[in-house]
A and B are shown apart, each in its own frame.
Chain A
Amino acid sequence: MLAPKRMAASAPAQLLAGFFRMPEPERSGSAGEWPLGNGLATALLAETPGKDTPVLRDVTLRQCA
């Protein structure tokens, strides 16, 4: 029987770990007051600007969440 292949931590697992351990400013409310009742979360990736990337310096970016 083959030994199971050892797998590296998955990206979603890393993302989740990061999500729940994000640094929080001291005056942004105590962490204990904010349970897992989050309205929205999104997985983020690294993007190296290319031809399809909008110029984001000195702009106002409006996003809907």
Chain B
Amino acid sequence: MTVAGHAVRIRIGNCFGTEPLVLSGARVVWPAGSDKGRAPQMLLFNGSKTVSISPGAALVSDPVDCAVTAGMDLSVALYITGLPATLTAHPGARATSFIAPGNTLDDSKAAGAPQICTRWYFLCGVDVLSHSATALAILGDSITDGYGCSPDSYSRWVDGFARRLQTNPATADVAVLNLGIGGNRRAGAESPEAGRA
């Protein structure tokens, strides 16, 4: 997260699916240093633990009060029971994701080593409620997306830019949204994997 606030909600998208995405549970683990410590908390969607996201749609979770500051990491776990044929993904996430069979939202049920990948699936974003924040949306290609950066290193130029903004009280309330897509071009030919131009 790149900005401080006092409530959080999660955006989940089935933007490219042609069948529903069904979640039979979702949970966050609050970051160390937040006012909830590292406590887990179930997420609800319109008050329900289960949600079916229609093809082409994106939903936000019900907001949850939690004081967070810029630079904190949030863990988001989704129990996926209905999967569209075409996935909605960010292949250049450069962040480690963990995949375990079955419902392991409750950590005590986890067994064995999870599968690991460095992509994001269905996670569109994290909204932080702040009455004073503004945001910069940064467009770009792989240079912005983080090509060459190691997973979980947060060493993209955008990450450094966000940290620099944080050090200045005049810009500490500016969130930085990285919308870079590797290979994307604003006009002309592009590979289908790099998004529509």
How many residues does chain A have at the interface if contact means C-beta atoms less than 8 Å apart?
A: 49
The reply to whether B103 and A60 contact each other, CB–CB distance below 8 Å, is yes
Contact B193 A37 (CB under 8 A): no
Which chain B residue has the least Cβ–Cβ distance from A59?
B99
Docked complex Cα distance between A63 and B42 (Å): 15
B8 partner, pick from A33, A39, A49, A55, beta carbons under 8 A: A39
Closest CB of chain B to A13's CB: distance in Å?
A: 8
A37: B residues at CB distance < 8 A: 3, 5, 127-130, 132-135, 173, 175
CB atoms of A60 and B79 under 8 A apart: yes
A11, B152: Cα distance in complex, Å: 26
List, in ascending order, chain A residues with CB within 8 A of B100's CB: 59-60, 62
How many interface contacts (CB-CB < 8 Å) are there between A and B?
A: 252
Kindly state the interface size class of chain B when it binds its partner.
35 or more
- Residue pair B1, A65 in contact (C-beta under 8 Å): yes
Q: Is B97 an interface residue (CB 8 A)?
A: yes
A46: nearest chain-B partner, CB-CB: B16
Q: CB-CB < 8 A to B149: which residues of A?
A: none
B9 near A22: Cβ-Cβ < 8 Å: no
Least CB separation from B116: chain A residue: A54
Q: Which of B153-197 contact A (CB under 8 A)?
A: 173, 175, 177-181, 184, 186-187, 190, 193-197
| Chain B residues proximal to chain A, CB less than 8 Å | 1-3, 5, 7-9, 11, 13, 15-16, 45-47, 57-63, 68, 73-83, 85-91, 93, 95-105, 114-115, 117, 120-135, 137, 139-140, 145, 152, 173, 175, 177-181, 184, 186-187, 190, 193-197
Q: List 22 A-B contacts (CB under 8 A).
A: A11-B184, A11-B194, A18-B58, A22-B60, A38-B125, A44-B15, A44-B89, A45-B193, A46-B16, A49-B87, A54-B117, A56-B121, A57-B81, A58-B81, A60-B100, A60-B102, A61-B97, A61-B121, A64-B73, A64-B76, A65-B73, A65-B120
| Chain A residues packing against B (C-beta within 8 Å) | 5, 7-8, 10-12, 14-16, 18-19, 22-29, 33-49, 53-65
